[in-house]
A and B are shown apart, each in its own frame.
Chain A
Amino acid sequence: MKRMFLAIFVIVACGMILAGPAVNATGKPVKLGFVYIMSGPFATYGQFAKRGAELAIDEINKQDGILGRKVVAFFEDSTGKPDVAARAFRKLVYQENVDCLIGLDSSGVAKSVVPLMNEMKTPLIITHAATPDVTGKVCNKYTFRISVNLAQNVKAAALIASETKAKTWTTVGPDYAFGHQSWEYFQKYLKELKPDVEFMPDDKVAFAPIKTTDFSPYITKIMHAKPEGVLISLWGGNLIDFVRQASEMGFFSGKWEVLMTLGAATEVLYALKDKMPEGIWVGTRYWFLGNDSPVNVAFREAYFKRFSEYPSYNAHGAYAAVQAYKAAAEKAQSTDKEAIVKALEGLKIELPVGTVVIRAEDHQALTPATWGRTAADPKYPIRVLNPIRTFPAEKVTPPVDKTGCEMH
């Protein structure tokens, strides 16, 4: 029996040591918990987000913090897996006692962990995951999104597509929910705008598994389908591989319109540099040259000064979330979680991307969607957008009753 007590004692002692940081919970600082992909294939997104978050927090702490309190950040790795992300949330909420959660890259992860917020009773600001469902079908009181969602991005794509001559459309996308939803929404929106368009049947669209590195069969398939327009919802490494292999095979010869929903992501443009064809319509969630407002110029320059690169949309997302939290805390004059939730609803804030309002009904940010045509510019090492098309939020955001969100 003695031994048993000893064993219990040892475990308890270990537990207490491990739980050490929890003691600080009664201290002064405002605690923000970030959950991004920090390791594995998509670690680059976590790295960008961390940069954006640190930039915002350093700026805030250099002034007088949030409500006079210092801001501290806790970063956790979601590894892109829902169960790991859930554990990261538990750690941040129950152990670090954070005041607000920020993050999430993968749509699948976001959709799976959002319901947990009901139990954790902690506000979550999503900054990257684009699935319409987290501010739609599975929306809840504690979940917000500051970034452009799939519906907004694709609506802008449909608006551009409707201006072109192309009548028959097909798609190349990743073979998971994001790719399929992008195509589904695109068809719906474009049909509304231009009823005489046609969409290719299932055997003439291409969805490549996310681990694909050789896109030649997909490129061949689409080229032989002879479309007039192609919507490409590949992103990250997939998009880089696709663009390189497709340009070698003559895909970008101008025979059809090409729209890439995430083609203006800086990690893609930096990797491809002059391999990115010119004159292609590309979308993004934030474009660093999108406007010359003082807020944007300051963000762009501070980011470039610190990291010698132009900010990606994921850096902007994390930066924006921290700023939104600060604005909400100042509006509520408190960091109480329920008060923050209330203050975030309907919050209007100047962000680098433009003026953004968080819609009270579904918690989706009404944020402008940026598209543009790729162009070379000797001033920049990467392709830039020229012309830039900025679609105001009210033109691209689906009305609340169309989102499927029922807030409880």
Chain B
Amino acid sequence: MVHQKIGRILEYPFSGLIVFLVLGLFVPLVIPTYWVMVVTEILIMGLFATSFNLLFGYCGLLSFGQAGFFGVGAYVTALLLSKGVGSYILICIASITATLIAAYFIGYLCVRRDEIFFAMLSLGFGMMLFTIAHNWREVTGGSDGLPLSTVPPVDLGFSKISLFHPLHGYYFVLAFVFVGLCILQVVVHSHFGLMLKASRENKERLAFSGGNVASVRLVAFLMAGGLSGLAGMLFCIFNRMATPDMLHWSFSAKPVLMTILGGAEVFWGPFVGAVIFFVLEQLVTNITENWMFVLGLLLIPIVLFFPRGILGTVLNLMKSSGRGSHGQ
């Protein structure tokens, strides 16, 4: 009975956002400071992974260069902040615009490819962006990146709020991430979302029925890119830095890992994957230095026994058990 109820609640498209907002607003009030900061990072990486999944889960396109866009967002933010720009709205608009421009050029060339070829092409472009960040020393600070000595307070009109306080930083990030997730949620439930899924299931049929696969994919690519850029902006503000590591392919592997961990077929899969990833990492590094070893060992059974990712598989079980009790 309980499963059934949860299953039904979960099927309402926007219930997830409400749960997210409630948890997001209250959890940080009751956890220790360090964990507030970890959860801040989870929010940012969760947004990054969810935007990646718009391509992966909904279009079937495995982007291995998503960190490139994340990095563009971070670098534009760092450049503007170091030039003394204090308005976060302006910074947000600028970094998303810059990311969209990059995503447009790269997407235009990538979206006609499928599967592994798309993955390798996006990897190539992502690494080109990495090389620019790493080698254009005059602008990007080269391998050192752009450290920010401080971040300006948020001007709310009636008062200025310093982001130095971990809780303030948290709510600042939460606001942007919530908006980002709302956009994604609306997109996947719209007519366009259906077209995306159609482009994944059957390219030819969509093409026959008059849909332009390439342009549908390009729009998805732009959205995923723009929101990755937003995540990058938040990451830059949170860590007070933009560094070339943020554009490297190993950084692109993170959203892939999180998404498959959580489940690519459900909207909240990547986010849950991000939570699991960070909590696991924290637990494992507490116990041993050989966290890669343990992470690998944990990952193997997850891949083998949770074919739809953890959230995906759990939801599936709930649904089928719910259906089972219907039958009885």
Contacts and interface: CB of A to CB of B under 8 A. Distances in A.
A53 interface: no
Interface residues of A, number: 46
A280 to B, nearest CB: 27
A19 B31 contact: yes
Interface string A117-137: 011000000000001010000
Interface in B146-178: 147-150, 164, 166
Given A8-B26, A39-B291, A112 B33 contact: no
A108 B243 contact: yes
Interface in A5-19: 7-8, 11-12, 14-16, 18-19
Contact of B289 (A19, A39, A115, A118): A39
A176 B134 contact: yes
Contact of A77 (B23, B26, B279, B291): B291
Contact of A19 (B32, B144, B166): B32
Contacts of A298: none
Nearest to B293: A39
A131 to B, nearest CB: 7
B283 A18 contact: yes
B289 A38 contact: yes
B166 A118 contact: no
B150 A118 contact: yes
Interface stretch (A65-73, A88-96, A217-225): A88-96
A22 interface: yes
A4 B5 CA distance: 13
Interface string B22-36: 110011001111110
Nearest to A138: B147
B34 A94 contact: yes
B38 A87 contact: yes
A27 to B, nearest CB: 17
B265 interface: no
A130 B41 CA distance: 29
Contact of A8 (B23, B134, B289): B23
For B19, B35, B142, B279, the residue with the greatest tally of chain A CB atoms inside 10 Å of its CB is B35
A95 B235 contact: no
A347 B241 CA distance: 31
Contacts of A40: 292
Nearest to A75: B289
Contacts of A3: 6
B282 interface: yes
A90 B37 contact: yes
Given A82-B243, A177-B144, A115 B150 contact: yes
A15 B292 contact: no
Contacts of A8: 23, 26-27, 30
A86 B289 contact: no
A40 to B, nearest CB: 8
A83 B246 contact: yes
A324 interface: no
Given A83-B246, A112-B145, A39 B292 contact: yes
Interface residues on B, range: 35 or more
Contacts, number: 116
A203 to B, nearest CB: 16
A94 B279 CA distance: 17
Contacts of A91: 34
Interface in A277-328: none
A91 B278 CA distance: 13
B255 to A, nearest CB: 15
A357 B326 CA distance: 78
A180 interface: yes
A140 B147 CA distance: 13
B239 interface: yes
Contacts of B31: 11-12, 15-16, 19
For A18, A116, A131, the residue with the greatest tally of chain B CB atoms inside 10 Å of its CB is A18
Given A15-B31, A15-B32, A18-B35, A83 B235 contact: yes
A145 to B, nearest CB: 16
B149 A138 contact: yes
Nearest to A43: B289
A128 B57 CA distance: 44
Contacts of A180: 137, 142
Interface string B227-270: 00000000100011101011000000000000000000000000
B42 to A, nearest CB: 11
A119 B34 contact: no
Contacts of A77: 285, 289, 291
A38 B286 CA distance: 13
A395 interface: no
29 contacts: A8-B26, A8-B27, A15-B32, A18-B282, A18-B286, A19-B32, A19-B34, A75-B289, A81-B245, A82-B145, A82-B239, A83-B235, A83-B239, A83-B243, A86-B241, A87-B37, A91-B34, A107-B144, A108-B143, A108-B243, A111-B145, A112-B145, A112-B147, A113-B241, A115-B241, A118-B150, A133-B144, A175-B135, A176-B143
Given A12-B31, A86-B239, A108-B144, 4 more contacts: A11-B23, A11-B27, A19-B35, A113-B241
Task: Please list the 8 inter-chain residue pairs (A to B) with the smallest Cβ-Cβ separation, ordered nearest first.
Answer: A176-B143, A15-B31, A95-B34, A94-B34, A19-B32, A112-B241, A94-B33, A115-B149
